[in-house]
Amino acid sequence: MKNPLDFQKKIEDKTKTSNIFGAFGMAYSHLAQAEKAIEYYEKALVISREIGDWKGEGTHLENLGLVYSHLGQVEKAIEFYEKALVIASEIGGRRGEGVRLGDLGNAYSDQGKVEKAIEYYEKALVVSRDIGDRRGEEAHLGNLGNAYFNLGQVEKAIEYHEKALVIAREIGSQRNEGAHLGNLGNAYSDLGQVEKAIEYYELALVIGKEIKDPRIINFCEKNLKSIKS
C-alpha cells in the first residue's frame, strides 16, 4: 500500500517544479526571448495539468497568451486567453476572470475589432467593481476610453479617461495618472479644444518628469510642440 505522505510530497515537488518553470518562462519573457518563454510555460502547463492544479494551469495559459500576443500571433493568444478564462470561471477566481476578460479585450483591440474589445472590457469592468479591484477597474476604464476614442466617440472616451484618472490618483499610480492625462490631451486636441489639450499635456509632462518616464515625457513634448506650432 502506497504511503499517502509520499504521494503528497510528489505533488508538492511537482508543484514546485511547475512554479520554477513558470518563473523561467516569465524571466525569458522579460528578456524578450519569446521562444524560450513559451518552452518553459508549456513545461509548466503540462505539470499543472498532470497534478490537477487548475489555478497554475490558468496562470500558465494566460502567460502563453501574453507571449503570443507580443509576437503578433493574436488568434493564438485568444485561444489561450479563452482557456484561461474558462478555468477562472470554473474555480471561482473572480480576479483572474477580470484579468482574462481584459486580456481578450486587448487582443480584439489589436485586431481592430473595437466593438468586440469593448464588450470584453465592459465585462471585465463589472468583475473588477464586484470584487472591489480598483486597479483593475482603472485599467478597464482606461481601455474603454481608448476604444471609444478609436471609434471616434471622443466625448465618451473623455468620460472613461476622467473616471480612470480619478482612480489612478486615489491609488497613487503616477505612471497611470500621467497616461490618462495624456489621453485626455489627445481627446481634447481631437475636439479642437487646444487650450484644454495643452493643459492636460502639461500636467502629464510634469508627472513624466517627476517619475522620470521617458515615454510620457516624449509623448507630451511631441504633442505640445505639434499643437503649439
- The contacts of residue 178 (CB under 8 Å, 6+ apart) are 204, 207, 208, 211, 213, 216
Distance in angstroms (rounded) separating the CA atoms of residues 195 and 201: 10
Q: What is the mean pLDDT of residues 58-80?
A: 97
Q: What is the pLDDT, as a whole number, of residue 1?
A: 45
Distance in angstroms (rounded) separating the CA atoms of residues 29 and 31: 5
Q: What is the pLDDT, as a whole number, of residue 9?
A: 65
Query: Residue 151 corresponds to which cell in the numbers above?
Result: 471609434
Q: What is the pLDDT, as a whole number, of residue 168?
A: 98
Residue 10 has pLDDT above 80, yes or no: no
Q: What is the pLDDT, as a whole number, of residue 4?
A: 57
pLDDT digits (tens, 9 = 90+) for 76-108: 999 999 999 999 999 988 999 999 999 999 999
For the chain, what percent of residues have pLDDT higher than 70? 96
Specify the higher pLDDT residue, 168 or 229.
Answer: 168
Residue 15 has pLDDT above 50, yes or no: yes
Name the band, by pLDDT with cuts 50, 70 and 90, for residue 8. low
pLDDT digits (tens, 9 = 90+) for 132-152: 999 999 999 999 999 999 999
Distances (CA, A) of 219 to 48, 79, 86, 197, 201: 42, 33, 38, 13, 9
